[in-house]
Structure 1
Amino acid sequence: MQIEQIYTGCLAQGAYYITSNGEAAIIDPLRETQPYLDRLERDNVQLKYIFETHFHADFVSGHVDLSKETAAPIVYGPNAICEFDCISAKDGQVFNLGNIKIKVLHTPGHTMESATYLLIDENGKEHAIFSGDTLFIGDVGRPDLAQKAASMTQEELAAILFNSLRDKIMTLPDDVIVYPAHGAGSACGKNMSKETVSTLGEQKATNYALRSDMTEAEFVKEVTDGLLPPPAYFGMNVAMNKKGYNSFENVLNLGMRALAPNAFEAAAEETTALLLDTRKNGEFAKGFIPQSINIGIDGDFAPWVGALVADVKQPILIICEIGQEEETVTRLSRVGFDNLIGHLEGGFEAWAKSGKEVDTVNRITAEEFATQVKIGESKVIDVRKESEYSAEHVEESYSKPLANINQWIKDIDPKEHFFLHCAGGYRSMIAASILEARGFRNFTEIEGGFNAIAKTSLPKTDFVCQSKVLK
């Protein structure tokens, strides 16, 4: 028996590859299927099952394409209704895989079809659970994502999750290994650990939601407290996972169409396409195509695209570093952005050499900021998360999280200058690009963000540990 966690950092997502005696199963696969197919061929095993823990909201799974390629059936938990062939398993149903067994534990609460898969090894021992978004390391799944579909309140779903955890998971042996679907950085929970594997015993001892003396009412209150609105793309990804989608290969072919500067400009003028520039924020600041939005491929690219672009059907034209075209298309497809027109051939350098219009961002260093800002007089906007701001910030600065930019941008006075920063420059450049695309030029962005500002003599609030802020 072999279990491998295939973790994708930019999505904070874990897929699982399991083999036993010539047969394989994959749990919660990513959109692109070729790496799985290559692995199956290399290991000389047959894919017998594709298990899905639930209808994912934060990414588009590769279950449909993988099933077409291998003829392996797609398995969901009870209550799952798909618009493609799938097995909606019964609670307690067992699937044989080589010399091991995988048992379905229906664990609703995050969603009503959520299932945890219990792996029983060759000796009949309960070895591991693949808990999806039911149980994370240090947290549990948020209970508000299925409200509309389930016609329930988040409190009702949280109560169901409480009982799923107590009746189906906490009754298992303490040495059972816990393999969750996500780790720190995912929007599917509130305060997940950076660790991606644990044991049930460790979680019983350290996970606030598994306290043995916790009442249902206390659980509901703690799990629902402080939930931020889910990103706009979540519902659209759920629909794609339920209904099916365009094949990844077709999406890749669209995004890999190379458009010379003149053709790129014509496509931008003739469509409502978003110009998405995925270069590093420092390069973007020095020069970019007017109206383009910078979301760097080297950061939390896909989640930020999903959070800030309202519609997964939005047409997109890509500007990226030469050689990063396929990676950019792949990451966009993972969150359902399939309507790709093509990419700029030769990258931004080709655009600049063609003599076409170029824009810039007014960026200064943290040291320059320290000499220019007047605490209490100058306006400083901090686009980090509220928890980061609460932990420590420049005195008299305003907390305006990037995720909420479409709300707070309406309050910006175009005649009043302000300074703009995040933690390191990634998010503030996203904000800067959006501001400039909306016509705002009255700001200065800070290179290196708060990490650099903290090294200056500027007055800051006393540091508070973020783990305490989040509790």
Structure 2
Amino acid sequence: MSPLPSSTASVQIQQFYDKGLAHASYAIRSGRHMAIIDPARDPQPYYDFADEHEATIEAVIETHPHADFVSSHLEIAQETGATIYCSRLVKAGYPHQPFDDGNRIELGSVELHALNTPGHSPDSICVLLIDELAQVRAVFTGDTLFVGDVGRPDLREGENVGGHSREALAAQLYHSTRQKLMTLPATTRVYPAHGPGSLCGKTTSPDLDSTIGKELKTNYALQPMREDEFIRVLLEDQPFMPKYFGYDVMLNKQGALPFEDSVRRVPRLQTDALLEPGVVVLDTRPAEQFRQGHLPGAINLMDGGKFETWLGSIVGPEEPFYLLADSQIALDTVIRKAAKIGYEGNIKGALLTPSHLPATSPTVEVEQVRQNPQQFTIVDIRNRAEAKQPIFDNALLIPLPELRERAHEVPRDKPVLVHCAGGYRSAAGASILEAALPGVPVYDLGDAITSFQTQAVH
């Protein structure tokens, strides 16, 4: 966490970056006046920053109701007395001030101006930072404009989130970028809500900030093209949508419960507690430990860099589950990660690894796979865009987010081999199929897959 290029004596911009969700939030401080844009679920870092600078949080701005994480806007407002600002189009269920074209917030010696920029969502705004000389210094672009990309327009098609067609939102995004953002001074700093790996875009750059001038030169979506061409280019090869996205949109429209209180309410169970049959168990230990012993039917969703995303892709937002880890610290970590996507209320119980782990998983002989891949039913659980580069001939493609629902499609006449791109997802995939295909040997190729990717295996 370090000050960003727009920081001067009159204003400081601080970026807070959550790598797990590729989410960037911001504090803007002018003297002792502070505003927060798109805060993460845990508000403590913003309180600490305000305390460090003896500043008061006066405003919390939501650029739109986020799909991929739960925001702490309501909790911060309740704790500090700050005003929440968002577009009137959000139809927010929490106390707020409308923040749309023409609206502005005075913050010490600077001003924050709203720009309506529909496209990623119909209610998206960007926030301009205007300095004391009335110059545009920065734009906080939410999910409208990323470094090297723009926000995807296909997350609001479900009836529960408005029923907006992706083509209509893509057309709005074409006009928002060209009429609102591309006309800003080239020197304007660009601060988006997401970085590389976010599922809210598709080709996001590793850089976490930029300028309008740089984006005009390098961002594919800002190059000269007709509206229909923009829509076509934007809609092709968008990544999958996790199960939890629509749920988080609705939760953010209402405002979530306080973070620490919610985490504390998660039931902590004794190690050998009797678990309710039929409730999914998520075992977050490393794959090697899981193979050596686990509870029958458990899913091996290892704690890792993208735990939250895969949790919300495998488990539905209304589905209860147990969380299992091998230490109290590890258990607390995955509970807090679950809370970042609003899943803490789904946790039926959290417990340390039981002493009795009757199920085991077989270990794959990599050389056998290399020599005789035809002896296996190979299930590729990568996303469709990844799978355009096949690794094995005749592999059955079922992306991990669909695997629990489509496990019945996997033939049972041969041992099953599961692979992804790097080894993390295949541990979850193999455990899902192991539970769904009793009596069929299911192997996880794990990180050995990387040695197969230099050439396709026939």
TM-score, normalization: structure 1? 0.88
1:294 aligned residue (300, 311, 317): 300
2:246 aligned residue (235, 238, 246): 235
AA in 2 matched with 1:362: P
2:404–2:432 CA contact under 8 A, matched in 1: no
2:268–2:350 CA contact under 8 A, matched in 1: yes
1:210-225 equivalence runs, <5 A? 210-211=222-223, 213-225=224-236
1:59–1:335 CA contact under 8 A, matched in 2: yes
Aligned to 2:128: 118
1:407 CA drift (Å) = 4.6
1:226 aligned residue (213, 234, 237): 237
Distance 1:432 1:86 in 2: 46
AA in 2 matched with 1:77: S
Q: Comparing 402-411 with 165-174, which one deviates more in the overlay?
A: 402-411
Aligned to 1:308: 314
AA in 1 matched with 2:262: V
Aligned to 1:269: 276
1:123-138 equivalence runs, <5 A? 123-138=133-148
Distance 1:314 1:259 in 2: 19
Distance 1:326 1:377 in 2: 42
Q: Comparing 229-238 with 49-58, which one deviates more in the overlay?
A: 229-238
Name the SS for the 2:89 alignment partner: coil
Aligned to 1:434: 432
Distance 1:452 1:428 in 2: 15
Aligned to 1:445: 444
Aligned to 1:58: 68
1:251-400 equivalence runs, <5 A? 251-255=262-266, 257-263=267-273, 266=274, 268-269=275-276, 273-310=279-316, 312-322=317-327, 323-339=329-345, 340-344=347-351, 347-348=352-353, 351-352=354-355, 356-364=356-364, 366-371=366-371, 374-376=372-374, 378-391=376-389, 393-400=391-398
AA in 2 matched with 1:101: E
Question: Mind listing any 5+ residue stretches in structure 1 that lack a counterpart?
Answer: 462-471
Q: Does residue 38 of structure 1 match 2:44?
A: no
Question: Mind listing any 5+ residue stretches in structure 2 that lack a counterpart?
Answer: 1-10
AA in 2 matched with 1:453: F
Distance 1:269 1:392 in 2: 40
Distance 1:144 1:80 in 2: 17
Question: Quick one: structure 1 residues 400 and 151, their matched pair in 2 at CA, closer, same or farther if it must change by over 3 Å?
Answer: closer
1:384–1:422 CA contact under 8 A, matched in 2: yes
For residues 135-190 of structure 1, the C-alpha deviation after alignment (integer angstroms, 9 at most, x for no partner) is 11121111122234444422111111111111110000111111111122222122
1:365 CA drift (Å) = 5.2
Q: Comparing 379-388 with 78-87, which one deviates more in the overlay?
A: 379-388
Question: Quick one: structure 1 residues 105 and 305, their matched pair in 2 at CA, closer, same or farther if it must change by over 3 Å?
Answer: same
1:228 CA drift (Å) = 4.8
AA in 1 matched with 2:445: I
Distance 1:254 1:293 in 2: 23
1:308–1:403 CA contact under 8 A, matched in 2: yes
Distance 1:287 1:357 in 2: 5
AA in 2 matched with 1:391: Q
1:94 CA drift (Å) = 1.4
Aligned to 1:422: 420
Aligned to 2:101: 91
Name the SS for the 1:324 alignment partner: helix
Aligned to 1:6: 16
2:240–2:383 CA contact under 8 A, matched in 1: no
TM-score, normalization: structure 2? 0.91
1:302–1:331 CA contact under 8 A, matched in 2: yes
Q: Comparing 327-336 with 288-297, which one deviates more in the overlay?
A: 288-297
2:148–2:218 CA contact under 8 A, matched in 1: yes
Q: Comparing 424-433 with 320-329, which one deviates more in the overlay?
A: 320-329
1:318 CA drift (Å) = 1.5
Aligned to 1:76: 86
Distance 1:331 1:295 in 2: 13
2:209 aligned residue (187, 197, 200): 197
Aligned to 1:26: 36
AA in 1 matched with 2:335: V
What RMSD, in angstroms, separates the aligned Cα atoms of the two structures? Answer: 2.1
AA in 2 matched with 1:133: D
1:429 CA drift (Å) = 0.5
Question: Quick one: structure 1 residues 162 and 459, their matched pair in 2 at CA, closer, same or farther if it must change by over 3 Å?
Answer: closer
For residues 81-115 of structure 1, the C-alpha deviation after alignment (integer angstroms, 9 at most, x for no partner) is 11110112131211111121111011011111100
For residues 250-301 of structure 1, the C-alpha deviation after alignment (integer angstroms, 9 at most, x for no partner) is 321123x4322332xx2x227x543121122222222222222121222310
Aligned to 1:184: 196
Q: Comparing 284-293 with 394-403, which one deviates more in the overlay?
A: 394-403
Question: Quick one: structure 1 residues 285 and 377, their matched pair in 2 at CA, closer, same or farther if it must change by over 3 Å?
Answer: closer
Alignment length (residue pairs): 443
